[in-house]
Amino acid sequence: MSKGDLKLNPQRVSYHVNDGVQLVGDAWGASDAAPVLLLHGGGQTRHAWGGTARALAEQGWYAVALDLRGHGDSGWSPDGNYQIDVFVADLHHVLPHFTQRPVLVGASLGGMTALLTAGEAPQPVSTAVVLVDITPRVEQKG
């Protein structure tokens, strides 16, 4: 595939999860290429991954940067629940939309979500997990 054939301008994608929340993302590259799912940190949005996603698409990947619930253009939790297990459940609803198992790349909150999703699944859900600045637990006292 030549660079001229690549979709280097993001295409908006969306996924509905089990409680009616719509998750919004941007996708770069050819959708039949090997996928990479990019998950941002707490208080960030999918736009934090824009440059990375474009670079991945230029190298032949299908890169999707996703807004987690309550972030960016994605919907808010109807019950106000933003515990990590809700983000993990959301990711389990998104993954079947890919034609191949993606590489999961996550920063902070997104990294913990990726790690738990891959680690708790009875069958492999990704080809790799890349973690950026995660912590296994947060001390509420600081």
Domains delineated in the chain: 3-74+84-132 (3.40.50.1820)
Residue 7: what pLDDT? 65
* pLDDT tens digits in sequence order for the chain, 142 residues long: 444 445 678 999 999 998 999 999 999 999 999 999 999 999 999 999 999 999 999 999 999 999 999 999 999 999 999 999 999 999 999 999 999 999 999 999 999 999 999 999 999 999 999 999 987 776 767 6
Q: Strands 128-132 and 35-39, how do they pair?
A: unpaired
The amino acid occupying position 41 is G
Which pair of structure tokens corresponds to residue 7?
Answer: 């979709």
Task: State the Cα–Cα distance between residues 46 and 134, nearest whole angstrom.
Answer: 17
The amino acid occupying position 101 is R
pTM: 0.91
Residue 1: what pLDDT? 42
- Comparing CA positions, the residue from 75, 73, 79 lying closest to residue 26 is 73
Residue 142: what pLDDT? 62
Residue 20: what pLDDT? 94
Q: Return the beta strands (E) in 1-142 as ranges.
A: 11-16, 22-28, 35-39, 62-66, 103-107, 128-132
Residue 64: what pLDDT? 99
Residue 135: what pLDDT? 78
Residue 114: what pLDDT? 98
